[in-house]
Amino acid sequence: MPVGTKESNETGLLAVIKALQLSSTREKFMGKSVIIESDSANAINWMSNESSRRWKLHQLFILASRFSLVLGFVKYRMAYALAEQGVDRDSELMAWLSQLTRPGIKIIECVVFDID
């Protein structure tokens, strides 16, 4: 499935379809439920709501229809946390830790190594 130059909504949909294709070809996932996370609310909405689908993407939806789907929107937490803090390598650990410190999650031990 060549990507070429696409708009962000289309690439989000292509990423979901590619994840479905890859998981469907792995023996350890056969007959099991797989959760695919996406930060594209449009792609998730299009996959689960046929009336909202864009006509120009109908071939992609035909391709996606080969998979048995139960969809829900799961935010891609790490991407949002990184975007909120500004994407630089020093803040990646803190963004990741901020997601772990959501209510109900406790950090037992954290060791940081500085590797040059």
DSSP state for residue 96 in the 8-state scheme: H
Q: Please indicate, yes or no, if residue 38 is contained in any of the structural domains.
A: yes
What is the helix, strand, coil percentage profile of the chain, to 5?
55, 0, 45
**Domain that residue 98 falls in:** 77-116
Q: Please indicate, yes or no, if residue 2 is contained in any of the structural domains.
A: no
Q: Please indicate, yes or no, if residue 70 is contained in any of the structural domains.
A: no
How many domains, the chain? 2
Q: Please indicate, yes or no, if residue 42 is contained in any of the structural domains.
A: yes
Structure token digits, residue 77: 């937490």
Last residue of a domain, one of 22, 42, 64: 64
pLDDT at 112 over 50: no
- 14 and 59 housed in the same domain: yes
- 116 and 82 housed in the same domain: yes
pLDDT tier for residue 75 given thresholds of 50, 70 and 90: very low
pTM given for the model: 0.48
Predicted confidence (pLDDT) per residue in 3-44, tens digit: 566 677 788 888 888 887 777 777 777 667 777 777 777 877
* d(C-alpha 79, C-alpha 104), whole Å: 21
Predicted confidence (pLDDT) per residue in 81-104, tens digit: 656 666 555 555 555 555 555 555
